[in-house]
Structure formats: structure tokens, C-alpha cells
Amino acid sequence: MRFELTPRPTISPVMRTLAPVAAFVTAFLIAGLVIWLMGRSPIAAFQVYVSQPLSDPWALQELLVKATPLALIAIGLSYCFRANFWNIGAEGQYVMGAILGSWLALKTHGTDAGFWVMPAMLVLGIMGGALYGLIPAFLKTRFGVNEILTSLMLVYVAQLVLDYLVRGPWRDPKGFNFPQSVTFDPAATLPLLGEGSRVHYGTIFALVAVLVTAIVLGRTLFGYRLKLTGDAPRAARFAGFNAKRTTMAVFAISGGLAGLAGISEVSGQIGQLQPSISPGYGFTAITVAFLGRLNPIGILVASLVVALTFIGGESAQILLKLPLDLTQAFQGILLLCVLSADALVSHRIRFVTRGGRK
Amino acid sequence: MQADVSPSGPPLVELKGISKRYGDLLANDGINLAIQPGEIHALLGENGAGKSTLVKILYGVIEPTAGEILWEGRPVFLSSPVEARALGLGMVFQHFSLFDELTVAENIAVALSDDWSLATVRSKLGDISQAYGLALEPDRAVWTLSAGERQRIEIIRCLLQNPRLLILDEPTSVLTPQEAEHLFVTLDKLSADGCAILYISHKLEEVRRLCRSATILRGGRFVASIDPRERSARDIAALMVGNEVGEVRTGTPHVPKGEMLTVRHLSMPSGGLHGQALDDINLIAKAGEIVGIAGIAGNGQSELFAALSGERLADKAEAVVIAGKSCGGVDIDSRRRLGAAFVPEERLGHAAAPTHRLSENTLISHAAAEVSRSGFILLNAAKRLARAIIKTFDVRAPDGDPQARKLSGGNLQKFVIGREIIRHPKLLVVDQPTWGVDAGAARLIRQALVDLAGEGSAVVVISQDLDELFEVADRMAVIHQGRLSALKPINEWTKEAVGLEMLGVAQSQGAAHAV
């Protein structure tokens, strides 16, 4: 006996809408079972993971803070993934954006350089990420090197460069030998949205990126070019779309948005450079992009959901002594459930037995 | 010669009341079909008539909703092609199922049972390709082969298993007349040895040449069971499409005017390791005429198409001149702007994106035209354009704006050709316009090409279907191993002469006569 997935002749729109809901319920049930097996109450865990963060104003702000880099990076990645290019190196592009942007912050530190510093840092951040993203694109178009390997390996290069800088040339001389830079001047700090808020302008950038991307992917020839390149590369060539240029463009956009996320996080959230400036946003954003089905609005929602698991995971670690790894496991379960639900909407499972039918 | 069919014994295989339902669509509706041992039985019908569904049921690929299959009088359940093969069925599909990365011999060995070693396959392969005129190099990787060569693998793969019933889906569509005649001899031999053959084809002359009985389907239903030798091709076609099939009207003879396409000394190295290099191609297509390019698959047709369309660029700009402009070095979009239009051989994946809606698919070749403005897509204009193509070219689509893959081959072909013709191009280059397309759609497409030339456009038709070229072309040349023969008026060609050129025999003979 074997299973077969056969495509459904028609896809019901109701099922299509309900699929993510069913996926979430299933993911929560599986996670609940795991937590129960670990000897904790699934109900309490649900409260810590979901109910508390959503009812606490501080946690809601934290949710936006965490969702911001995820959304920015995932939106960028959606350009690559739509065109069927596998940029796994957003984490490195994020770090490089942060480094290049911070260079200006450190250069102007202690001077009375004016308001132009912050916008210039953002531009440098975008450039840093974009140029770093273009390396795998160039290697792919020029030499045919697989972009999955190069983009992933460049993550480690970027992380080690950052490590070197904050332990070496960029270390704060008055920082008691801690591996960190000086704290950025106010002119080099991304403003917060309102007094006493923790949410910075990066959130606005993310929302703008979502809206612009929704228009670009849905309404422009460039968006169609990406879709066609991803779905039918020969047809894209037939349409006259230059494959090399497409590759370069999507990696530059994807890297640029990751770089913007990096410099926003450093200048708006952390306030200085340190060896670790990301809890793996660049990798988690891959999950976010697919949870959101590469749709800009979907990515926005997915970034909030995944940010929630980050916050809930931290609280669960403190309150229930649940390991932080469980959060990552849950993110994985969630992605698996969403992808399975999508597959089941468009396909049905058939059991085939040898020698007879059904 | 065919074996004597004794009506007394049970048929080799009998389908009784076979029905297959997909949602609301009844693809097969209570079809009966019986094949005697050694009989060559034709299955005829337009695309969408239910032939493929019926054959897939017989071969165990899909299960019927109702009905039963009797093998030598005993009911059998075929839940997979493996079981069908074990019973003695062999099938040559129209769409090949080959592993691109493996060699010819490996592809054949994979499909056979374990007791065939690769060495045995290689030696047998030599014998069979010799006997049936199906030349194949055992160690070539499949991805380097043309469609025609790939089909030969499929045919040999079945013949190696000594099947009792061989199902052939459009087997001659990529063969030369000589090769096809070879195949018919093979099939006659097989039939005389008692192997039954279910022969699916749109080429009615072949069916009349080969088969004593034919079953005609239309719209999923049984229409008639006939002896094709007693009916004219026109009669049979009428039964298939449900109304009288007219011949392509040429109207007034085409009067060629200025040169729309001039190809001068076009040479191009082969794209892949086993691709075909183009060698000093010279070709002129004038406004108002149809130029045909005949040839066996894999002799440089795809390369020629890519060089004309601009998907591959020539070294010298003046090697390809469109509407007076040297454009060997500019891309396909620039050539479109000069008034050229192109239709490649592969419908799905090259001419159209399978999962995209028809309206989106208009963007592929109309990006520079009316469906976009300053980089933005004009969705409503794209939908209007798709609707206009559907209406003008009688594309039968499931609903308003379906995905390209939901269309049958013939309907999608009408769409991708219509998409180009509706722009009234000054030059249309089309590769295999009616490959695997039903009689009705093929007639419509040919008529559209003839009408386009009549309106004053230059049309270049690259085709393996000689009947088609003789029907529509004003002048014709034959491509063989990347070289193009002289371009001569169609009435100066005979089928035999074309066949010799296709095999490269004429060139050596011609050299002796050359002045």
C-alpha cells in the first residue's frame, strides 16, 4: 500500500481561507502535546505564550519591535523566492548593513554633525546589505555557483567581521574591555515613535516595504517578471527578461531590505554595535516569508505571529522553565503545518493498494 | 499483413461501459471497445474527446469511475502501469517519461525488470534500432536528444518487452515519411506475430494505411466504429469533429513583396554538448508569403528558432535582418518592436507559463505593447486581450480566465498562436505550429497562418509535418544537420525529394549535379 497525492481538479476558496486557521490549531495541538509530555500544563503554556503577550501593552510594543526586522527581511526575501532564487544569507546582509551604517555613526561620534547622519546611515545600511547580497548573485550569474551555498557561507563571514570590529578597531576604549562600540549619539539614533515608546521608525519602514511590495508584485511588470522567472524560466527568457539582471535585482533588493533591518535594529533598538545583534532574524525571516506564502500582507501577519512566539518563548523560559529551543521547534511545527495545509488544499491523499482498488 | 482475426474467440482486451468523472466533467461516458489479438485498432478523436483518459485507464494510470476491463475474457483490475505491463501491455506516450540525466540505455533498463543487465540492453538496443530504423546512440544523455529521438527510446522500450498489446499515442508526429513507413512495416510485423496495437493518431491517412478498424470518440462519448479503409479521410474527420471539416482556403495566391526577414551566412555553435550547430544558413522570407522549413527533429530547428527570435544572439548583427534592420545582436523584445512575433515549439513552459492565467500569459509577448504602461500592468487590458484572443481563435477554455495548464494542447496552441497573430505582426516565426494538436485546431491554425500571409505578413513555419507544409507553404527548404537546403517554390518539391533532403542523401547527390 502506498500514499499518492493527486491534484484536486478544483480548489475550494473556503478551504483555501480556512487552511491557515486549521494549520494554527494543529500546530498548537502538537505543541500542547509536547509540553504535556514534558510534564507542564498546556493551558498554562498557552496563556504564557499567547494570552499574556496579547493583553499586556508593554508586550504588544515588544511584539512590534521584534516583528519589524522579521517583516523587513522577509519582504526582501519574498522577491528572491518568487523568482526561485534561494537567498539563505539574509542574516549576513543584515549584519553587513548594520556594520556599514554604524561606520558613519562611529565616524561622527562626538562631533556635532547634524540631522543628516541618521538618513545617511540608513542609506549606507541599505547599500551594505545590497552589495553583500550581490556577491552570491554575481557568483551565480558569472560562474554558475549555487547561491544557497555562497549566501549561507557569507553569513559566517559577516558575523566574524562584526566580531573582529567590535573586539578590535571599533571597541569602545572606555568600555571596560567589553566587546562593544561606543553608544551612538542622538543624531545617530533612529527616533522612537512617541515618548516612552519602544517602537522605532523601523516599523514604519516595514509597513512602507509591505505596501510598496504589494504594488510591485501585484501590479508592475517587474513583479510579473519575478513571478515568470520563478514559475517558467524559459518563458521568462522568451518574454525578453534578462535572467542575469533579474538575479542581480532580486538579490540587491533582498540584501538592501535586510541591511535596512540591520541598521534600524542597531541604531533604533540596541544603540551600539556588539558581537550579537540578531537572535537569528535573518534565518527566521525565511520561515516568515513562507508562512506568509510570499504575499506581502501574509508576511506582515506572519511576522507578528512569529514575533509572538519569540516573546512567549522568553516568558515561558522564565515562568515555566521551558527551554528556549521549544520556541524554535514551535516555529518549525507551525511552518510544517501551514505548508501541509496548503498541500492538502490543492491535493488529496489517495491510498493505493496493490492488486485491487481503494 | 495482419493476422486473421477470428471473431469466435474472446477479444484480447475488452473495455465495457468505461466512465470517468472529474468533478462535473465526464471525460469518458460509458465507452465500449474491443481489440482482437493481432488487430491494429485506431482510436480517433479530437483533443478533449477522451482518448487520453480512456488509454490511461486501460494502462492502469487512472482508475475508472465505472465499467470494467476484460483481458482474454477475464475481468482485471489495473491499479498501476506495472501491473498493466506484467499483463502484456506496452505504451508509447505522447508526452515522454524519461530521466533527462540518464543515458538512452539506462532509461531503457530502468523501465525493464531486474533480469535485464545494462549490457544486454545495449546489445538488444542495437539490434532493435537496426531492425526498425530507429537510430539511437546508447550512451547519449537524454537531455541532449530532440523530441523525435526521445520518442524512439519510448518505442524501443516497449518493443523490448514483447508486448501483447502495444498502445501508441501519436507515434509518427516526429518521424520522416520514410521513418514512418519503416514504423508501419514494424507494426505490420508485430501484428502478424499476434501483437495487437491500439493506434492513436490525428493523421487520418496513416490510420487508413494501417488499421482495419477504428473507434471514434467525441466529447467523451463513443461516436462510431468504422473500417477506415472504406471511408475517406474527410468523412472520418467529419465524424471526429462533428461537422464537415473544410480544407484550408488559400484564397488568392500570395504575392510576395519586400523582404521581411533576411538571414545571411548565419552560423552559430551548438548550445549544449549535443546541440546542433547552425552552419551558414541563408533564408529570405518576403511579405505576403509562407516559407516552410522541413526537417527531422533535432537537426537545428530549435537553434534556428532561437537565432531568429533573439533568444540566442548571432555574432554578426547583419546575419539576421528583420524589416530592413540588422538585429542579429539584439534581444527578442527589440525584434518584437520591429514588428516580429514568435511562437516556440513547447507550449507549456516556453510559450506560456503553466500556472499563470491566460491574461497574465498575454504579458509574455505583449509586455511592450498595450497591456502595460510605464512599468505597470494594465490588468483590464490584459483580460480584454485574452478574451479577444479566446474569441477570435475559438479557444475553448474552462472558464473566463483559466490557468494555461487547464487548456488542452490544441486550445493552448490556438491561444499562443492567436496571441501573436492578433498583433498583426509583419513577420511571424512559428516552430511546430500543430504538433500534437487535433484536426480541428490544426485546420484553424493553418488557416490563420495562411490568412496572415494573405494580409501581407511574412510567415516562417518550421514543421516536421510535411502534409502541413505542402498545404500552407509558398516556398520551402529542408534543414539537415544545421544546414539549410535551397529554398524552392512548393510545387517544385515532391515528398520523396523532401524525404531525401531530410536524411541528407540529396545533398551528396545534389553536389554531383551542381553546376
Which residue has 515519411 as its cell numbers?
A: B177
Containing A347, the helix (H) or strand (E) segment is strand A347-352
Contact residues, chain B, for A249 at CB < 8 Å: none
**How large a percentage of chain B has pLDDT more than 90?**
32
Question: Average pLDDT of A289-318?
Answer: 90
Backbone conformation region of residue A46, classed left if phi is above 0, alpha if psi is from -120 to 50, else beta: alpha
B512: pLDDT confidence band, cut at 50, 70 and 90? very low
pLDDT at B514 over 50: no
The answer to whether A98 touches A258, Cβ cutoff 8 Å, is: no
| Secondary element (H or E) of residue B82 | helix B81-87
Q: Is the pLDDT of residue A340 over 70?
A: yes
Contacts of A221 in chain B (CB under 8 A): 363, 367, 372, 375-377
Judge if B13-88+163-241 and B259-513 fold alike in CATH terms: yes
Q: Are B447 and B249 in contact (CB under 8 A)?
A: yes
- Whole-Å CA distances, B317 to A240, B298, B341: 18, 25, 19
CATH of domain A67-321: 1.10.3470
CB contact under 8 A, B363 and A224: yes
pLDDT of residue B48: 64
Contact B365 A239 (CB under 8 A): yes
Assigned C-alpha cell, A329: 521547534
Which residues 224-253 of A are in CB contact (within 8 Å) with B?
Answer: 224, 227-228, 231-232, 234-235, 237-240, 242
- C-alpha cell, B47: 483533443
Instruction: Tell me how far apart the alpha carbons of residues A336 and A334 are, in angstroms, rounded to a whole number.
Output: 5
> Distance (Å, rounded) from C-alpha B355 to C-alpha B222?
32
Q: Which of A80, A72, A118, A126 is nearest to A99 (CA)?
A: A126
DSSP three-state, residue A136:
helix
Q: Where are the domains of chain A?
A: 67-321
- Least CA distance to B80: which residue of chain A? A354
pLDDT at residue A53 in the model: 85
d(CA B335, CA B317): 12
Sequence letter at residue A11: I
CATH code of the domain made up of B13-88+163-241: 3.40.50.300
Which residue reads 468523412 in cell numbers? Answer: B235
- In what helix (H) or strand (E) does residue B181 lie, and over which residues does it extend? helix B177-192
Chain A contact probe: residue of B77, B356, B373, B431 with most A CBs at under 10 A: B356
DSSP A47: I
When pLDDT is averaged across residues B484-505 and rounded to a whole number, the result is 82
Residues in A closer than 8 angstroms to B353, CB to CB, are 228, 231-232, 235
- Tens-place pLDDT, residues A4-23: 787 777 778 888 888 888 88
Q: Would strands B74-76 and B376-377 be described as parallel, antiparallel, or unpaired?
A: unpaired
**Contact list, B344 vs chain A (CB under 8 Å):** 238
Task: Tell me what the mean pLDDT of segment A221-246 comes to.
Answer: 92
B350 and A219 within 8 Å at the Cβ level: the answer is no
Measured CA to CA, the distance from residue B145 to residue B503 in angstroms comes to: 17
The C-alpha cell that represents A283 in the structure block:
534565518
Query: Which of A223, A224, A238 lies closest to B344 in CB terms?
Result: A238
* Averaged pLDDT of chain A: 90
Cα of A206 vs its chain's centroid, Å: 11
pLDDT tens digit string along A183-212? 999 889 999 987 778 899 999 999 999 999
Percent of chain A past pLDDT 70, that is, above it, reads: 97
Is residue A238 a contact partner of residue B332, using CB atoms and an 8 Å limit?
yes
Residues 6+ apart with CB under 8 A from A107: none
Asked if residues B64 and B20 have their Cβ atoms less than 8 Å apart, the reply is yes
* Residue of chain B whose alpha carbon sits nearest to that of A230: B353
Q: What is the dihedral of CA A247, A249, A250, A255, to 10 degrees?
A: 120
Q: Which CATH superfamily is domain B259-513 in?
A: P-loop containing nucleotide triphosphate hydrolases (3.40.50.300)
Is the confidence at residue A26, as pLDDT, over 90?
yes
Distance CA A235, CA A231 (A): 9
Q: Which residue has the higher pLDDT, B276 or B391?
A: B391
Average pLDDT, chain B: 83
Residues listed for chain A: 358
Interface mutation vs chain A, best among B350, B370, B378, most A CBs within 10 Å: B350
Mean pLDDT of A300-319: 88
Mean pLDDT of A49-77: 91
A222 touches chain B (CB under 8 A): yes
Among candidate residues B377, B5, B491, B411, the one with its CA nearest the CA of residue A228: B377
Q: How is chain B split into domains, by residue range?
A: 13-88+163-241, 259-513
Mean pLDDT of A241-269: 95
- Read off the C-alpha cell for A350: 489517495
Q: Which residue is it, cell 485546420?
A: B443
| pLDDT surpasses 90 at B281 | yes
In the structure, what pLDDT confidence band is assigned to residue B134 with cuts at 50, 70 and 90?
low
C-alpha cell at A356: 485491487
- Chains A and B form CB pairs within 8 A to the count of 84
Contacting residues of A for B56, CB less than 8 Å apart = none
Question: What is the rounded distance in angstroms from the CA atom of residue A358 to the CA atom of residue A295?
Answer: 38
Burial class (CB in 10 A: 0-12, 13-18, 19+), A196: exposed
Q: What is the mean predicted confidence (pLDDT) over A251-255?
A: 97
For residue A32, count other CB atoms closer than 10 A to its CB: 16
Q: Under an 8 A CB cutoff, do A219 and B311 touch?
A: no
- pLDDT single digits (tens) B325-366: 999 889 998 999 899 999 999 898 999 999 999 999 999 887
Judging contacts by C-beta atoms under 8 Å, the chain B residues touching residue A7 are none
Q: What is the pLDDT of residue A259?
A: 97
pLDDT digits (tens, 9 = 90+) for B67-115: 999 998 899 888 888 888 888 898 887 667 788 888 888 888 887 777 7
The closest of B353, B315, B312, B349 to B332, measured between CA atoms, is B312
d(CA B179, CA B187): 12
DSSP character string of B326-337: E-TTS-HHHHHH
> What is d(CA B83, CA B114) in angstroms, rounded to the nearest whole number?
15
Class of residue A60 by CB neighbours under 10 A (exposed 0-12, middle 13-18, buried 19+): middle
Alpha-helix runs per DSSP H in chain A:
13-37, 42-46, 52-55, 57-82, 90-107, 117-143, 147-167, 202-219, 221-231, 233-238, 243-265, 281-291, 296-319, 325-346
Length of chain B: 515
Residue B15: what are its φ and ψ, rounded to 5°?
-100, 130
- Rounded to a whole number of angstroms, the distance from the CA of B341 to the nearest CA of chain A is 11
Nearest to B217 by CA among B360, B403, B49: B49
Distance from CA of A244 to the nearest CA of B (A): 14
**Residue A111: predicted pLDDT:** 87
- Whole-complex ipTM: 0.81
